[in-house]
Amino acid sequence: MALERVRFLHTSDWRLETPLGGICEVPADLRDDFINAPYRSAERVVEQSIGEAVDFVLLSGNILPTETALPYTLEFVLQQFERLHEQGIPVYWAGGDLDDPDLWPKQLALPSNVHTFPVRAVESYQVLRDEEPIAEIVGQSKSDRKKLAMSSLTGDNERLTRIVVANGDFTASQLDVQGVDYWALGGQTEYSQVGKRPLTAFYAGSPQGRLPAEHGRHTCNLVELKFGEVDVHRVDTAVIRWQHERLHLSNSDALSALEREVRERLQQKTSSVEASLVLLIWEIAGEQAGSLTLSKADRQRLMSSWSLEQGEDRQRTVDIRVAPGQVPEAFWEEDSILGDFLRVVRDLQQHENPREQLESYLPKGPVREEVLAEIQMTEADDRKRLWLGVAELGVGLLQGESSLQSVSPVESIG
């Protein structure tokens, strides 16, 4: 068992140069916030590392697009590494799908505190304290052509903390490797733990959520290891936080009542939210939701009034969604383009991996990633509402002027 107390910070998926998105229209006064949020959240990670005086920082991939990065982004990353270097904090960086440290521009030398892992093989570094080793960091950058060699990760020095840094999709059985005290994983936008204790394998997730589907906390991991015990503390890093709110419409004339409820919720203290800006997405559901029609002007007015700025407490409504109504059963069996469309939607909803089925239909680019991220929402109710909305949109487009407003909403399709 490791005898030295070791404290480090684990982060991944900064995805610099990928702005926030996923809504129909970004308010003009928020465009700079959407672009700058990934950089500001990365700064929070570095500030946390310095403030906690950690022994080292682990980067488990997808930090920036090394092949195409803008000069501003390269300079920004260098500045963060230099800040850590000034405090004597080493950095260990394993690349993912987005970044290959080997492709970092040669003319921009990385500070001496930054240690990178190659894609060709596993490499290891020892972390020293007072010229004595306190931990061994083992890792390999991700490659489509070369898998992480699990057999080379086994450690037999029980007195030295052993940490593996890697990027990709891993299962608990794959990570059942003797002698590894902590797996610092990257490649997922959400924080998660793989398997159960005594396995200590964590995806740090992105420090900043990009899309409405990436709502909730976004953090980095502050980790402490001592005497074989591992304590993982999540530290909030997002400067902008997505938040979903649900409203119940029981009377078609009760929109004014909804507005009162919204104002009451906005006044509730959001002290538990560390983000400086909360982006609100309201969904109106209930027996009469299907009969509610909001014009573009209505939405603009409501989004403006359903927002609050009180000092540092900024809450902005950026989208209002009306829960879709029921698609009549007869539509599903029609021998028509609409019927064919609805049956495809039903098959996709029931498919184990709809992302895999949809990828071939979508062009490469940000829109494709946004659509696939929405499809992979973890909450079952959210997925049901999403597919029902797709079905209703298809009816609206393929049925011309026909309306579903008189039909009550349901929980699922088909």
pLDDT tens-digit map of 273-285: 577 899 999 988 7
Residue type, 243: Q
Q: Could you tell me the two tokens for 51?
A: 């403030």
Mean pLDDT in residue range 168-185: 91
The predicted-structure confidence for 85-141, as pLDDT tens digits, reads as follows: 999 999 999 999 999 999 999 999 999 999 999 998 899 999 999 889 999 999 999
Whether 200 shows a pLDDT value over 70: the answer reads yes
Whether 406 shows a pLDDT value over 60: the answer reads no
The predicted-structure confidence for 212-249, as pLDDT tens digits, reads as follows: 989 989 999 999 998 778 999 999 999 999 999 988 87
Of residues 304 and 113, the one with the higher pLDDT is: 113
Residue 414: pLDDT band (50, 70, 90) is very low
The predicted-structure confidence for 152-169, as pLDDT tens digits, reads as follows: 776 666 678 999 999 999
> Do the beta carbons of residue 167 and residue 62 sit within 8 Å?
yes
> Do the beta carbons of residue 42 and residue 34 sit within 8 Å?
no
Write down the pTM of the prediction: 0.79
- What pLDDT does 7 receive? 96
Of residues 278 and 368, the one with the higher pLDDT is: 278
Whether 322 shows a pLDDT value over 90: the answer reads no
Whether 251 shows a pLDDT value over 90: the answer reads no
- Distance between CA atoms of 273 and 269, rounded to whole angstroms? 9
Whether 147 shows a pLDDT value over 80: the answer reads no
The neighbour count for residue 275, using CB atoms within 10 Å, is: 22
Residue type, 275: A
CATH of region 6-236: 3.60.21.10
Whether 197 shows a pLDDT value over 60: the answer reads yes
Q: Which range (26-30, 220-224, 260-264, 349-353) has the least confidence?
A: 349-353
> Do the beta carbons of residue 141 and residue 151 sit within 8 Å?
no
Query: Edge-to-edge strand order for the sheet containing 123-129?
Result: 123-129, 132-139, 161-167, 182-186, 201-203, 192-194
Residue 209: pLDDT band (50, 70, 90) is very high
Exposed/middle/buried for residue 169 (C-beta within 10 Å: 0-12, 13-18, 19+): exposed
Whether 253 shows a pLDDT value over 50: the answer reads yes
- What pLDDT does 377 receive? 58
Q: What is the DSSP letter of 24?
A: S
- What pLDDT does 350 receive? 79
Question: Residue 137 pairs with which residues in a beta bridge?
Answer: 125, 163
Of residues 257 and 134, the one with the higher pLDDT is: 134
> Do the beta carbons of residue 42 and residue 80 sit within 8 Å?
yes
- Angle CA(387)–CA(393)–CA(397) in degrees, nearest 5? 145
The predicted-structure confidence for 27-71, as pLDDT tens digits, reads as follows: 999 999 999 999 999 999 999 999 999 999 999 999 999 999 999
Percent of the chain whose predicted confidence (pLDDT) is above 70 = 81
The neighbour count for residue 284, using CB atoms within 10 Å, is: 20
> Do the beta carbons of residue 94 and residue 63 sit within 8 Å?
no
Residue 395: pLDDT band (50, 70, 90) is confident
Burial 105-118 (b: 16+ CB within 10 A, else e): eeeeebeebbbbbb
> Do the beta carbons of residue 12 and residue 185 sit within 8 Å?
yes
CA atoms 93, 97, 102, 104: torsion sign: negative
Whether 289 shows a pLDDT value over 70: the answer reads no
- What pLDDT does 408 receive? 35
- What pLDDT does 187 receive? 94
Sheet strands (E) in 177-269: 182-186, 192-194, 201-203, 219-226, 229-236, 240-248
Whether 403 shows a pLDDT value over 50: the answer reads no
Of residues 262 and 385, the one with the higher pLDDT is: 262
Average pLDDT taken over every residue of the chain? 84
Closest CA to 137 of 6, 3, 300: 6
Whether 400 shows a pLDDT value over 60: the answer reads no
Percent of the chain whose predicted confidence (pLDDT) is above 90 = 48
Closest CA to 20 of 221, 316, 271: 316
Residue 145: pLDDT band (50, 70, 90) is low
